[in-house]
Amino acid sequence: MISLGKRAQGLRLERIEASSLWAGDAFRNIHPIAPGLQDASVARPTLAEFLCGGNRRVPSGPLPALDPRDAWARKPATGLRATWLGHSTVLIEIDGWRVLTDPVWGARASPTRIAGPRRFQPVPVRLSALPAIDLVVVSHDHYDHLDYPTIRKLAATGVPFVTSLGVGAHLEAWGVAPDRITELDWWETHRVAGSGLTVTAAPSQHFSGRALKDRNATLWSSLVIRGTRHAVFFSGDTGLTSQYAEIRDRLGPFDLVMLEVGAFHPAWGHIHLGPDNALKAHAMLGGGAFLPVHWGTFNLALHAWDAPAETLFAHAAQHDAQLVMPRLGEPVEPAHAPPVTPWWRGVDESRRARPQPPAAEPPAAAAMPAAMPWPPD
């Protein structure tokens, strides 16, 4: 199945094997897991729980969304503007260039169109309706961050890609020209030809893989995007790590910090932040406008779909965090961002007034594995 991607070979494999993060047969997280990130008293979700457990994991209706094309036709007054398009896909306009992060327009975070987590609603603008993109960055190769049909369409435009070690093999297999692909190890920087734009790969605490036998065969990274006047931090997927302080010291300060906040669980704190740890990470990174990503798009954990937003909204003031929480497709300039209003609360209001059908019975526990080895993203 071509959507599974391809293993690195030749020069790509040589670069992987030369990385200090390569452990001989796979990449590894080199930083110790901080106490409390993996709650040993909480069992990992069983497959039955993942499929049928939890409440309000999917919104009862579509999230409010805007068409950003009129705004995109005008340059951002401050030189920095971001448009959240769902999950970890953000169009960043920075000092005259446009950068697209982890682009996913597909209907499912899955290798197939007929099974797997289905997105709550379409992206608010068609992929073909995007303005000219100067660069695409891909943090790692999980399906909710690297989407085969989306990459196929972007490949036809000739846009350059910057990604983590090994991920370029997937891109090349899907039609991206090799000379349009740059792979980075942590702390490596790439300057985009003909621009003042740079991208630096930085540490994160996660894992990778698209099939049963390629776990951690490619690297995962956070990414720092820097223009001539502004800098943006994009977490990709990660657990909390003290390396954020080093990122601040070596690559900060940041005007915009995009951190993953969804798909969290007490047993997954070493590989996913969740909202509370994201606030801690934001402080370690030195602050900056905080745009939460990786939520409100796919059902990837047991928590309610809006739990990340509600928790951030409730706790941000305690951390002195400047939240930027636009609606889908709503372009926002961090320097002029309006106060956050809980727009997501209106999505389920009509549902609360209607009688609900009984929850589906979970499959028999005996037929399921005792625990999932890791979350699907």
What per-residue confidence (pLDDT) applies to 188?
98
- CA distances, 339 to each of 105, 275, 279, 334, 342 (Å): 29, 18, 17, 11, 10
What per-residue confidence (pLDDT) applies to 352?
55
Cα separation of 267 and 37, whole Å? 8
Edge to edge, the sheet with strand 198-202 lists 189-191, 198-202, 222-226, 231-234, 256-260, 289-293
What per-residue confidence (pLDDT) applies to 370?
43
Residue matched to tokens 């503007």:
81
HSE-CB of 283 using CA atoms within 13 angstroms: 12
What per-residue confidence (pLDDT) applies to 38?
67
Q: Do 69 and 125 touch, CB atoms closer than 8 A? A: yes
| Residues in Cβ contact with 173 at an 8 Å cutoff, skipping those fewer than 6 apart | 2, 5, 6
What per-residue confidence (pLDDT) applies to 40?
64
Per-residue pLDDT of the chain (377 residues; tens, 9 = 90+): 899 999 999 999 999 999 999 999 999 998 877 766 766 667 677 777 777 777 899 999 999 999 999 999 999 999 999 999 999 999 999 999 999 999 999 999 999 989 899 999 999 999 999 999 999 999 999 999 999 999 999 999 999 999 999 999 999 999 999 999 999 999 999 999 988 999 999 999 999 999 989 999 999 999 999 999 999 999 999 999 999 999 999 999 999 999 999 998 888 888 999 999 999 999 999 999 999 999 999 999 999 999 999 999 999 999 999 999 999 999 999 999 999 999 999 998 755 544 444 444 444 433 334 444 456 67
All structural domains of the chain, each given as residue ranges with its CATH number in brackets, are: 68-334 (3.60.15.10)
What per-residue confidence (pLDDT) applies to 362?
41
Which pTM value belongs to this model? Answer: 0.92
Residue matched to tokens 């309000």:
56
What are the DSSP calls for 222-251, one per residue?
A: EEEEE-SS-EEEE--S----THHHHHHHHH
Cα separation of 220 and 223, whole Å? 10
